Structure 1
Amino acid sequence: MLFESSRIYFRKITTGDAELYDAWRNNIEVMRYTNPSLDLYSTEETIAFVEQVILGSHAAKSYIIVDKTEDIPIGITSLINIDYKNRNAECIIDIGETDYWGKGYGAEALTLLLDYAFSEMNLHRVSLRVFSFNERAIHLYKKIGFQQEGSSRECLFRDGTWHDIIHMGLLQREYMKPVKS
């Protein structure tokens, strides 16, 4: 199956997922690594965000990451700002359930998403942004093949210190290298 690996599967996000997403979106430990503002959101704001931004965009595809063993949602992953003409998109991944951090679920989910982006959608390039202090994520992205393309220097103030936002990209030909026999 296209959106399934040994431990996880994807399912399309629905408006019914707004409450779940609201819990992740308002968990400071989770958002510390993905949300520049660290704002807290009301349930109504999250519902509006899910309906208008996630589900209402023709330039985005978003999926809930589900642990197959427990059949529980553990995160969200998306392709956003999809540019069909130039075959580019930006990817986002959030493992919202902190018990699943550091256990390879992010790598598994990102691999499924990239397989879809490059093999099924035939995208040429996928990019992402990551906070410079998120060393675990940067290591994962480099291991998968993303290359640093630049940074927005000292544009994030977190914990009393300025941090960069690192811009990374991966080309289809870099990801889909032929297997040597």
Structure 2
Amino acid sequence: MFKGSKIRLTAIRKEDLPTYRQWTSVESFGRFYSSSPIREESEKNATQLIDDHSDRSYRFAIRPLNSEDFLGVCAIEEIEWPHRVAWTSIALGPKFQGKGFGKDAMTLLVNYAFNELNLHRLSLTVFSYNQGAITLYESLGFKHEGTYREFLQRDSKRHDMHLYGMLATDVK
């Protein structure tokens, strides 16, 4: 359930946090992962990745099959159990983007959401300039459901944020 063809999903460990915090200050990570201004994540905020043990959030580290290297994070969050809906996200470290790790991780995450957690719907947002992520999500069966027009400003330009969703019946 937690092993793909290239990666495996594990718990996020305390020793992963310094790397994660450093990534948040790197443009090629921060500008795809968050609408917040780029800055190094505080230790307190980063620690919340491993300290949240509620039944509304499942967060994972992404690691290669044969090592303990930390490649990124993915999550199923804000689960509304009465409705069986949740949000999902993924972020790979700058050196690990575009190598197929994201597709492998998202495939595992979608399978876990629908087949283990018995969710009915997953939602996500993606910035319009993140074409790699859009291609990935659509290849997995996520459907474009709407656009938050001119949602954020980066480098003096306005950018849309797209809403995508997937139902259990959409799984490819």
**TM-score, reference length from structure 2:** 0.92
- Are the equivalent residues in 2 in contact too, given 1:8–1:67 (CA < 8 A)? yes
> Could you give the per-residue CA deviations for residues 136-167 of structure 1, whole angstroms, max 9, x where no partner exists?
11111111111111111101101221001000
Deviation at 1:57, TM superposition (A): 5.5
SS of structure 2 residue aligned to 1:33: helix
**Residue 165, structure 1, aligned to residue 161, structure 2:** yes
Aligned to 1:143: 139
Match of 2:86?
89
* Greater mean deviation of Cα atoms: 162-171 or 25-34: 25-34
For the aligned residues, what is the CA RMSD?
1.6
TM-superposed CA distance for 1:6, in Å, is 2.1
Q: Number of residues paired by the alignment?
A: 171
Instruction: Return closer, same or farther for 1:148/1:115 CA change in 2, 3 Å cut-off.
Output: same
Residue of structure 2 in register with 1:77 after alignment: 74
Gaps of 5+ in 1: none
Residue in structure 2 matched with residue 65 of structure 1 by the alignment: 62
Aligned to 1:153: 149
CA contact (8 A) 1:7 1:69 kept: no
Residue type at the aligned position of 2:148: S
Return the letter of the residue paired with 1:74.
Answer: L
Matched AA of 1:155? F
In percent, how many aligned pairs have the same letter? Answer: 34
User: In the alignment, is residue 132 of structure 1 matched against residue 128 of structure 2?
Assistant: yes
Q: How far is 1:70 from its partner?
A: 4.3
Q: Tell me the TM-score normalised to structure 1 length.
A: 0.87
Q: Secondary structure of 1:32's match?
A: helix
SS in 2 for 1:118: helix
- Counterpart of 1:157 in structure 2: which amino acid? Q
Rg larger in structure: 1
> How far apart are the structure 2 equivalents of 1:74 and 1:53?
15
2:87 is aligned with what amino acid?
E
**Do the aligned partners of 2:142 and 2:165 also contact (CA within 8 Å) in 1?**
yes
